[in-house]
Amino acid sequence: MKKFSVEEISQIVGGMLTKAQDAEITMIAPPLLCDENMLALALGEEEINNLAKTKAKAALVPLGVNIDGMTTIEVERPRLAMMKLLTLFYEEPRVNDGYHPTAVIHPEAQVAENAQIGANVVISKGAVIGEHTKILPNSYIGNNAKIGNNCFFHAGVNIGDRVVVGNDCILHHGVSLGADGFSFVTENPNNIEQARKDGGEIKEENTEQKIFKIPSLGSVVVGNNVEIGANTTIDRGTIENTTIGDNTKIDDLVMIGHNCRIGQGCMIVSQVGIAGSCVIGDRVVIAGQAGLADHIHIGNDSIIAAKAGVSKSFPEKSIVVGIPAVPRKEFIKQLKTMKDAGDLIANFKKYEPLLRSFLEDSEEN
Q: Which residues are catalytic?
A: 258
Contact 251, 266 (CB under 8 A): no
Cα 248 to Cα 95, 159, 252, 262: the distances in Å are: 25, 18, 13, 8
Starting at the edge strand found earlier in the chain, the sheet holding 134-135 runs 116-117, 134-135, 152-153, 170-171, 227-228, 249-250, 267-268, 285-286, 303-304, 319-321, 326-327
SS3 233: strand
Give the CA count within 13 Å in the CB-facing half-sphere of 157.
28
346: left (phi over 0), alpha (psi -120 to 50) or beta: alpha
Quickly list DSSP for 64-97. T---TTSEEEEES-HHHHHHHHHHHH--PPP--S
Cα 254 to Cα 92, 178, 235, 311: the distances in Å are: 24, 14, 11, 18
